[in-house]
Structure 1
Amino acid sequence: METKKTRKTLSHLYTYEYEHPFDRDSLDRLERTRGLEMLTQRTLDWGLEKYLLIKATGDNIQVTQSNIPELYELLLEACRILAMPEIPELYIQLEDKITSFTSGEKRRVIVISSGAVDLLNDAELLFLIGRELGHIKSNHVLYRMMADSLKVITQLISDVTLGVGNLLSMPLQIALMHWYRMSEFTADRAGLLTCQDPDVAANSFIKIAGLPVKYHGRVTVDDLKRQAHKFDNLKESNIDKLIRFVASYENPQPFTIIRASQLFRWIDAGEYERLLKIESAPPQISPTGCPNCKFPFEEDDMFCQQCGYRLR
């Protein structure tokens, strides 16, 4: 167990303040893509959320305060830092790689791999859990569930329409998967704001990239920065096109080194430090709350701090 570090509670953190522009732009394009609204409604009607929750909770071990308190405390710590009053359920999935995902619009469930628990230290696990909380805070979960279940949805459409349905068009699939990958850039920023140590985030990327255990510590943060900075000369439009191309394939995330490059650029621009220095202001609470989740919000908020709903 590592030495306890005091991390600042970001009680006045707005999702739009750390949201990556690639995420917002690709989401805007996705929401303009024909068929999304119908697909979303059909997905909810078919009970996809319940199916994914059963899948996530029926085959994995739940982490609680009583069985693995040290891991559960990391979840509580991450929720405290990001000022999220609702504590998601936490499960461990048998998987050698470092992976994690979140499921459930109403019942929030975070699943992390056994490989993550084995290979990451406490601070790095905090980064990983913070990333998933970032998806929840930014209201990514529904669309990400849809992206994670494209094969299931495609099969359902085929069965219902006897193989002639075109609800899930190729442009819609590409737009959905493109946004799915871009949303990871926002999640990385949330993970950093949670662990509050750029070196921890960098070492997490090194391990996520697949460095063998016997070489842990041999590849340094400076090594990763040098490799990541090679992508700095690429224009953002070119990175966008590259990831859009990758969206046609099975890779579920953007390239790890590109993710590191984007996070380092955000840090170098001073945005990470700026958000850490913001002092909480006394909120002017709306009497009605968010139309989506009923969470209280301030009169000048553009987005709900709890679910990410666009308020105006």
Structure 2
Amino acid sequence: MQLSKTQLIGLKADDFRHPLDLEATTTLKQLPGLDIIVRSLLGSVAEQFFYLNNIASSVLVSEKQLPHLHKLLVEAARVLDLEPPQLYLQQNPVPNAYTFAMQGKQPFMVLHTSLVEMLTPEEIQGVMAHELGHLKCEHGVYLTLANIMVLGASLLPTWGTAIAQSLQSQMLQWVRCAEFSCDRAALLVAQDPKVIMSILMKLAGGSPTIAPQLNLEAFIQQARDYEDISNTALGEMLKQAQTEQLTHPVPVLRAKEIDRWASSQDYHHLIEIGKTEYNQKATTKGGWRNW
């Protein structure tokens, strides 16, 4: 595993934010007072609720508790020029990870044990970097609202109104776009697109026993085949119908987006800037901390 990766000093969210994320976020911000309402009504209560739940039923990762995971988190956060949040490991058979930050006071990340068991250390760090991308892009408020609306849609018939359905559709569209930005954050940390695409492959069809047998090149070809479906109007319509109720883009599409961005000038420019600033700091006495 690559160690002591270059810190992207001064990295801003808009340096890597996906255009679809930027467009969808701009649209949401045009809804007056939405972020204020969510913060004021849910912020402090939600943060406290999740904190108590995590501290009571998960393992808090630290230098003294699962230090190898703690080291991966600290390194990923430094690459993205962030303070690392609290990290919890939670027993759960469904591979998943999520992050929460409403008011910036108690940001945290949760990894499920089944996810950790299925991935390599590099891939675990890639997942951490993806979740850190939510913090870097300040997705917390809208991400919380999207999760609540998805839950409400399944439990409360009042979400059946035309206005609520329209807002729910808009929120789901936003959260799918936000995932593309976070995948880019993961690539900035991994600095190898195959690591991120391997994560997506394993999430699509992996398990602790099957994961080592999966063929990444075949999965990448699968992603290209999926993209080719858009060559016909019917194929594009079916793809849109498939994804409009999902909270995440389908894994093959995310893999194709990462493959594309890894070849872009924007990505290589960010990495080169980071290396240049790293070298400048390294040659300045007292100006660099080893980590």
TM-score after normalising by structure 2: 0.80
Give the aligned partner of residue 92 of structure 2.
95
Residue 135 (structure 1) aligns with = 134
- In terms of fraction of residues, the more helix-rich structure is 2
CA shift for structure 1 position 54: 3.1
Q: Which residue of 1 aligns with 2:73?
A: 75
Amino acid in the other structure paired with 2:164? S
Question: Deviation at 1:165?
Answer: 11
Q: Deviations over 1:172-229 (max 9, x none)?
A: 1111121112111000010111111212112111111122443334332221221112
RMSD: 3.3
Asked if structure 2 preserves the Cα contact closer than 8 Å seen for 1:23 and 1:183, the reply is: yes
- Where does structure 2 lack aligned partners over 5 or more consecutive residues? 281-291
Q: For 1:255-280, what per-residue CA distance to the aligned partner results, in whole angstroms no more than 9, with x for missing partners? A: 11111111111112343222111133
Query: Which residue identity lines up with residue 42 of structure 2 in the other structure?
Result: L
1:255 corresponds to 2:250: yes
In structure 2, what is the Cα distance between the partners aligned to 1:153 and 1:49?
19
Which residue of 186, 190, 209 corresponds with 1:191?
186
Post-superposition offset of 1:167: 11
Distance change >3 Å, CA 243–CA 33, structure 1 → 2: farther
**Identical amino acids, percent of aligned pairs:** 25
CA contact (8 A) 1:127 1:200 kept: yes
Distance 1:258 1:164 in 2: 29
Residue 169 of structure 1 aligns to a residue whose secondary structure is helix
Secondary structure of the corresponding residue to residue 209 of structure 2? helix
TM-score (norm 1): 0.75
Q: Does the 8 Å CA contact 2:220/2:252 hold for their aligned counterparts?
A: no
In the alignment, what sits opposite 1:271? 266
1:13-92 equivalent positions in 2, closer than 5 A: 13-33=11-31, 36-37=34-35, 39-40=37-38, 43-44=41-42, 47-84=45-82, 86-92=83-89
Contact persistence 1:228–1:258 (CA under 8 A): yes
Q: Displacement of 1:244 after TM fit?
A: 7.6
Moved over 4 A (4+): 151-158, 163-168, 237-245
Gaps of 5+ in 1: 283-312
Q: CA deviation at 1:136?
A: 0.2
Q: Cα distance, 1:10 vs. partner?
A: 0.9
Give the paired residue count: 272
Task: Check the 8 A contact 2:152/2:159 in 1, yes or no.
Answer: no
Tell whether the 8 Å contact from 2:118 to 2:206 is kept in structure 1 after alignment: no
Task: State the alpha-carbon separation in 2 of the partners of residues 28 and 10 from structure 1.
Answer: 25
